[in-house]
Structure 1
Amino acid sequence: MFIFVAMTDNQEIVSLTFFEYPKWNRWWAFNQMQLAMAPLQQTSGLKFYKLMGTGGGFGFSLRPDLKTYALLLVWKSGAFAKNYTESEIYQRFNQQCKSNFTYWMHCIQAHGSWNGVQPFTVKEVKAEGPVMVITRARVKFHKILRFLSFVPKSSRSAEAADGLLYTKGIGEWPAIEQATFSYWQSQQKMEAFAYQSDHREIIQKVKKEGWYKEELFARFIPASLPESDTDR
């Protein structure tokens, strides 16, 4: 059973939208990695934002998915987030894309940093249904080849994971600044994958050999967005 936690107007809420573009608009979408910075900075109620490219394979992938881009937004409160689809930044992308889908989330665990800051406010809520996970890392330059050598094994391991509903590699720079979003049936199934042999082996090598300059791990539960003003 999928359990969604309703957000009140004064609670932080996180949105992750995947926009898919037709061939004739993919160059436009790529350029937005820079051109959309100013509109994002002017969007009311944003605490943190990242516009990222995505990987073309299963989960993390070195092959780019040139048709899909991800927009991660951390809203100061539901009051700001509930009008997201009416905002200039959403309309900017929605008018050019072929389709899009937004995951609304509430952070229940986080450690580490993203560009020197912790973007998510943790709310002590127990995960009783599906969970989402974002893992992000900045790879040390001299460790890139070592990191890349384990990518295929990691992807194969995730592809066979029980309870994995969806996963997508997201990131700011190929190979150097990478993240993965995953959506699981339950916290128990996510943890079963995290502690199984192949994945655990990679994590142990990461820590022992110091691959990352910076890393972040965050867990979320699905959140239902408060009604927008237009819905009332």
Structure 2
Amino acid sequence: MQIVSLSLFRFDTASARLWALGMMGAARLSLPRHEGLTFWKLCGSGSGEGFTPIPNTGVYAILAVWQDAATAERQLAASSLWARYRARAAEDWTLFLSPISARGRWSGAEPFAAGTDTQAGPIAALTRATVRPARAARFWRRQPDISRRIGSDPNVLFKIGIGEVPFLQQVTFSIWPDVDSMARFARSSGPHARAIRAVREGGWFREELYARFRIHGETGSWEGQSPRILVPPLPQEQCA
């Protein structure tokens, strides 16, 4: 069963932040050498709620898609690349996710192989888009209202905005207590619904992808603690 890891790293010092910025290029040399890694992306993050074009120079992310859970856990534990990130980060947190639905493309690929979902409980949502340059200004005018709405929703257990290229290639990642609470936010009236209509009618995105995941494990901490929102790790024999 395919497993996706999302590793977040927080860097506090100026030297560590400069190192992390440099690794946005340098890490591309070593990532392809990891056994069982089928897709990966290096991302920066946005400031505030994370869903802004203003970068947060202290938080970076590695998203990686692995052939199975055992490979993901083994590689992240043994990888010298992840070890270098952890050594310089003031804090790091990795989530292990299994895709349950996915549609669209990311850099021309369909990276997530959705499996059958028979579980209840927390669910993660990832949206990714390449914004057409001619539509970027309109897109970012929508974001402050959407960010405030996400930030004020009491059902959001975790949220972050990350991206590959500032202004143009954006990823939102959020965790919800269940499918119903996430669906209510996505379908309710307001800034989010209006933005979705504008995107569809105006063709704002050159490429887009939407995916949902079940959460099967974590390592590390974020903001000084584990968010304590995760189900127990999936038994290894079920991932074979």
Q: TM-score normalised to the size of structure 1? A: 0.90
2:208 aligns with 215
Instruction: Map Cα deviations across residues 141-179 of structure 1 (whole Å, 9 max, x no partner).
Output: 110111111011111111122310111101001110001
The residue identity in structure 2 corresponding to 1:78 is A
Matches for 1:128-207 after TM superposition, within 5 Å:
128-198=120-190, 199-207=192-200
User: Of 52, 76, 86, which residue of structure 1 is paired with 2:67?
Assistant: 76
Instruction: Map Cα deviations across residues 165-210 of structure 1 (whole Å, 9 max, x no partner).
Output: 1111010011100010101111110101001112111101100011
Alignment pair present for 1:35 and 2:26: yes
Give unmatched runs, 5+ long, in structure 2: 218-232
User: Of 113, 127, 138, which residue of structure 2 is paired with 1:121?
Assistant: 113
1:14 aligns with 4
Q: Secondary structure at the match of 1:158?
A: helix
Contact 2:216–2:234 under 8 Å retained in 1: no
User: Of 68, 93, 97, which residue of structure 2 is paired with 1:105?
Assistant: 97
Shift of 1:22: 2.1
Q: Partners of 1:227 and 1:31 in 2: how far apart?
A: 37
User: Which one is further off, 197-206 or 80-89?
Assistant: 80-89
Shift of 1:127: 4.5
Q: Partners of 2:63 and 2:173 in 1: how far apart?
A: 11
TM-align CA RMSD:
1.4
Give unmatched runs, 5+ long, in structure 1: 1-10
Q: Secondary structure at the match of 1:197?
A: coil
Q: Partners of 1:26 and 1:188 in 2: how far apart?
A: 38
Q: Secondary structure at the match of 2:125?
A: strand
Q: Secondary structure at the match of 1:144?
A: helix
Q: Partners of 1:146 and 1:97 in 2: how far apart?
A: 35
2:37 aligns with 46
Instruction: Map Cα deviations across residues 100-132 of structure 1 (whole Å, 9 max, x no partner).
Output: 001111100100000001110100113410000
Q: Partners of 1:55 and 1:172 in 2: how far apart?
A: 11
Alpha carbons of structure 1 residues 91 and 217: separation in structure 2 relative to 1, 3 Å: same
Moved over 6 A (4+): none
Q: Partners of 1:32 and 1:204 in 2: how far apart?
A: 37
The residue identity in structure 2 corresponding to 1:66 is T
Q: Secondary structure at the match of 1:95?
A: helix
Q: Secondary structure at the match of 2:49?
A: coil
Contact 2:52–2:140 under 8 Å retained in 1: no
Contact 2:157–2:175 under 8 Å retained in 1: yes
The residue identity in structure 1 corresponding to 2:120 is E
Q: Partners of 1:59 and 1:161 in 2: how far apart?
A: 15
Q: Secondary structure at the match of 2:100?
A: strand
Q: Partners of 1:20 and 1:27 in 2: how far apart?
A: 12
Contact 2:40–2:62 under 8 Å retained in 1: yes
